[in-house]
Amino acid sequence: MSRGGAPGRSSPALVVGFGLLALTGCGPNHPVHGKLVYADTDQPVTELAGFDVTFTSEKLGISARGTIQKDGTFQLGTEKDKGGAPPGEYVVTLTQPYRQPDRPYVGDRVVDIAYEDPTTSDLRAEVTPGGKNEFVFKLRRIAKGKKK
């Protein structure tokens, strides 16, 4: 007695399922590492330790986030920290200190505020399967007197 059809033939549902998976472009995540440095000195942006770097792909409908370390480095993850990101093209944004009256203990911004918004950030990255996926972003310091 045979269960599930003729030997050597795939179930139509299984074939459709694999086809849909291939069309969505969802694949395994790949490790992504990076470092934030000042454009004028190549020194690490240490003041952003504890803040976030986010890679966002509108095409894939996904974001991957990493926490900036004391040496300016980061690793990305989508569902879990350091879990990597799927292959694709990304706009890169970051968070940074922003002193407000109700948060006087927070430091001041240190890099261009354009990096905080995906519509104004000029930082880009392409995650590739089998690639190094190591990025160094050279950030513009915020202009003196424009820390708001």
List 135's β-bridge partners, or say none: 34
Average pLDDT rounded to a whole number, residues 5-12: 48
Using one digit for the tens of pLDDT, what is the confidence trace for 51-106?
Answer: 999 999 999 999 999 999 999 999 998 776 678 999 999 999 999 987 777 767 66
| Band (26; pLDDT cuts 50, 70, 90) | low
Percent of the chain exceeding pLDDT 70 equals 73
Least confident of 6-10, 48-52, 74-78: 6-10
Residue 10: what pLDDT?
46
Residue 28: what pLDDT?
87
Residue 103: what pLDDT?
65
Least confident of 23-37, 82-96, 132-146: 23-37
pTM > 0.85: yes or no: no
Give the domain ranges of the chain: 29-139
Angstrom CA distances, 84 to 27, 30, 34, 40, 57, stand at: 11, 5, 11, 29, 14
Asked whether 136 and 125 are in contact (CB, 8 A), the reply is no
User: Which residues 6+ apart lie within 8 Å of 45 measured at CB?
Assistant: 36, 37, 38, 68, 72, 110, 111, 139
Encode 29-50: b = buried (16+ Cβ within 10 Å), e = exposed: bbbbbbbbebeeeeebbebbee
29-139 under CATH 2.60.40.10, yes or no: yes
pLDDT at 130 over 60: yes
Residue 77: what pLDDT?
85
DSSP 22: H
